[in-house]
Structures are given as structure tokens and as C-alpha cells.
């Protein structure tokens, strides 16, 4: 390919080369593969001023991805789903319309604005409150339409949650569920039992659930929650746990979840300000829950993960496979 070399100022034969470069976005160092031209006459390299990739756009997207922030199209799709113009949506948010327009077109949002927009994305019904406080934002008919829509979302959400949970729990009691029908209410209170006033990593919580259910099966012939557990890279986990968490977002709201950094990874943690209702449990279940809590009290995520890797039931299963409660007899607790 021929082009003009700005260094030796001649029309020359050039090669495209790719070199890694680093862009600093608010303290996050992001690597980008930049395109350069190499001049065969003077052996110098110079930047391609019209690269195929927009490096800043790439870096912003990577920055948002690392922080689990909204991408520009997420904001636009959300606004469109509400049938709002940029002007109307920015009035609801209380930010400038030019700012919102920039965000939808690729500018990097401020952290405060990310949190603000995220609030509404996570719970669109918050808009109802804003519309009540600022009744002149929309015309009467626009307001009615949006209000109807938001009420529908609310209703749809709870139907969806119920259906998802019904589907996930649609298995008969057998050796994979510890001889028990799934008990959603008990799961919630086991969750609260472990997370009440203490911040627990999801990785650790998975193991605590596993040990409590299997220990109760070993000693009393039946599990506590009826959950099925599968072999995952970080140890035994409740089967379809991620889907559970999403479907259970309603009750998860009672249990505060937060992303924290550890071992260079991001981990989700849970904490509940709300105490468990111990009346839902049998005395034997309370005994088992307390002994598991005590046993693993000082264990880090890594320690309990390593510990669970030595369970026979874990060793004898492959990734994704359900772990039979038969293995409870070999449990290392």
C-alpha cells in the first residue's frame, strides 16, 4: 500500500503494524491495540490517523464493562422502552439534556450519574414518584400512558419471578434434592441466617448452603432446603444458582448485595439487616445450621473452596453434574 510518510515526507510503501498501547481512564489502565504505519524508506512508524477502531470509545466501553456500568445503548434502549424523549428523560433524572445526549452517544458518564440512571433502570417504578412530585413534566396523556406501562412492569415482574421459581423448583424429591421438595421459604431464612449482620462472599455462601443441606441429610436423612447442588469450578453450588438470584431479586432486596474486590477478582457479597425467622426451622435444622456457621466461621473463600474440593462427592463428579446426597456419608464435617 502506498501513502505519504509524514516523517521522510515522501510517497512510500508502508506496512500496517499493530502495537499495544495503554490509555488511562480515570485511573484505570486500559490496553488498546493501536494501528501504526511503518515506512519502508525511513524505517519510522507513525500513527494511522483514521484507524478502523475508535480507541477512546473502546477504552470507555472497557472501563464501563469492568465497573459493570451502563453502556450508551443501554441508556437509550431503556429511555426508548419508556417512550420518553431525551428532554423528558433528562427532566426526570434532573440532569441536563445535553449531558444525557452525550452519554447516549458514547461519552463516559460520571459516577454519580451512573448511579442515578442505574437506580431507575433497576426499578423503573421510581419514575412514578418523580411524576407525582413534578406533575408538569409530561402531558396528561403521556403521563397516563407511562404510568400504565410502569404498573404493568411491576405486575409482570412478580409474575415472572413466580414462574421462574416454579420452573426451577419443578423437580420431585429424590436423592439429588436430599429427599425433599424445594422449600423457597426455608432457603430465604437459611440465607438470612448466614448473612445476618455479616458480609458473606457468594462463593462462601454457596458452600455453607451445601454443607448445611448435606450435613442435615447425613444426620437426619433429609436436606433442609431441597436444593440440588452441582459441581462447579469453585466447588459445589446450588444448581442454577445465578438464575435463582435473579428470579429472587425481590427478596434479594432485603439482603443487601455488593460487589467487592478480592484476589484481583470482583466478588459479590451478601448481608442481611433482617434477622432470620428461626420458627420456620426444625430443632435439628437449627442445630445443623449453627454447627456449620461455627465450623466455617474463620474460613476465607479460598479456604472453604479448597476444603470443599476434597469432598468425595465433588471429586467423583464433573463440571455441571449434579452431586448426589449419597455422598453425604463421606462429608468431611
Task: By CB under 5 A, name the binding residues for Zn ion.
Answer: 5, 7-8, 39, 41-42
Q: How far apart are CA 45 and CA 269, in angstroms?
A: 48
Of the candidates 171, 172, 212, the one whose C-alpha atom is nearest the C-alpha of residue 191 is 212
Residue 48 or 240 having the CB closest to Zn ion: 48
Going from the C-alpha of 171 to that of each of 56, 163, 175, 222, the distances in angstroms are 49, 14, 11, 16
| CB nearer Zn ion, residue 38 or residue 157 | 38
CB of 13 to Zn ion, least distance (A): 10
DSSP state for residue 171 in the 8-state scheme = -
User: How large is the C-alpha radius of gyration of the chain?
Assistant: 27
Q: Which of 44/253 has CB closer to Zn ion?
A: 44
**165, 171, 333: which is closest to 236 by C-alpha?**
333
- Of 23 and 42, the one with the shorter C-beta distance to Zn ion is 42
Q: Tell the smallest beta-carbon distance from residue 16 to Zn ion (Å).
A: 14
- Closest contact distance (angstroms) between CB of 5 and Zn ion is 3
Three-state DSSP class for residue 272: strand
Q: Across the strands, what pairs with 256?
A: 271
Q: Kindly state the cell numbers that stand for 187.
A: 432457603
Which three cell numbers mark 86? 431525551
For Zn ion, the closer of residues 7 and 175 by Cβ is: 7
Euclidean distance between CA atoms 73 and 64, whole angstroms: 12
Q: CB of 38: closest distance to Zn ion in angstroms?
A: 9
Nearer to Zn ion, 25 or 42 (CB): 42
Residue 302 Cβ vs Zn ion, minimum distance, rounded to whole Å:
54
Number of helical (H) and strand (E) elements in the chain, helices listed first: 14, 9
Least distance in angstroms from the C-beta of 52 to Zn ion: 22
Q: Which is nearer to Zn ion, 10 or 329 (CB)?
A: 10
For residue 195, which of 275, 289, 272 has the smallest C-alpha distance?
272
Q: Which is nearer to Zn ion, 42 or 271 (CB)?
A: 42
Give the span between the Cα atoms of 303 and 293, in whole angstroms: 14
Dist. CA 35–CA 231, nearest whole Å = 44
Strands of the 2-5 sheet, one edge to the other = 2-5, 10-25, 28-39, 45-47
Q: For cell 433524572, what's the residue?
A: 93
Min CB(14)–Zn ion separation in Å: 8
Amino acid at each position: 500500500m502506498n501513502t505519504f510518510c509524514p516523517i521522510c515526507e515522501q510517497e512510500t510503501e508502508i506496512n500496517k503494524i499493530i502495537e499495544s498501547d495503554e490509555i488511562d481512564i480515570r485511573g484505570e489502565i486500559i490496553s488498546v491495540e493501536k494501528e501504526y504505519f511503518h515506512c519502508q524508506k525511513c524505517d519510522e512508524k507513525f500513527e494511522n490517523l483514521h484507524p478502523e477502531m475508535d480507541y477512546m470509545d473502546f477504552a470507555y466501553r472497557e472501563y464501563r464493562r469492568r465497573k459493570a456500568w451502563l453502556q450508551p445503548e443501554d441508556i437509550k434502549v431503556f429511555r426508548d422502552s419508556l417512550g420518553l424523549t431525551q428532554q423528558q428523560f433528562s427532566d426526570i433524572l434532573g440532569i441536563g439534556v445535553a449531558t444525557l445526549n452525550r452519554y447516549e452517544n458514547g461519552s463516559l458518564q460520571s459516577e454519580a450519574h451512573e448511579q442515578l440512571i442505574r437506580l431507575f433502570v433497576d426499578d423503573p417504578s421510581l419514575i412514578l414518584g418523580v411524576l407525582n412530585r413534578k406533575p408538569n413534566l409530561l402531558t396528561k396523556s403521556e403521563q397516563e400512558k407511562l404510568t400504565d406501562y410502569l404498573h404493568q412492569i411491576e405486575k409482570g415482574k412478580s409474575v415472572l419471578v413466580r414462574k421462574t421459581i416454579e420452573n426451577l423448583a419443578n423437580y420431585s424429591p429424590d436423592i439429588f434434592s436430599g429427599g425433599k421438595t424445594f422449600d423457597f421459604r426455608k432457603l430465604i431464612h437459611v440465607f438470612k441466617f448466614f448473612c445476618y449482620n455479616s458480609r458473606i462472599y457468594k462463593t462462601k455462601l454457596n458452600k455453607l448452603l451445601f454443607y448445611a443441606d448435606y450435613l442435615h441429610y447425613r444426620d437426619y436423612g433429609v436436606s433442609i432446603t431441597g436444593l440440588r447442588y452441582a459441581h462447579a469450578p469453585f466447588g459445589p453450588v446450588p444448581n442454577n444458582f445465578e438464575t435463582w438470584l435473579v428470579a429472587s431479586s425481590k427478596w434479594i432486596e432485603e439482603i443487601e448485595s455488593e460487589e467487592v474486590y478480592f484476589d484481583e477478582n470482583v466478588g459479590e457479597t451478601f448481608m442481611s439487616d433482617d434477622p432470620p425467622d428461626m420458627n420456620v426451622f426444625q430443632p435439628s435444622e437449627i442445630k445443623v445450621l449453627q454447627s456449620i456457621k461455627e465450623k466455617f466461621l474463620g474460613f476465607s473463600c479460598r479456604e472453604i473452596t479448597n476444603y470443599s474440593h476434597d469432598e468425595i462427592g465433588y471429586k467423583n463428579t464433573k463440571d455441571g453434574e449434579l452431586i448426589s446426597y449419597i455422598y453425604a456419608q463421606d462429608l468431611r464435617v
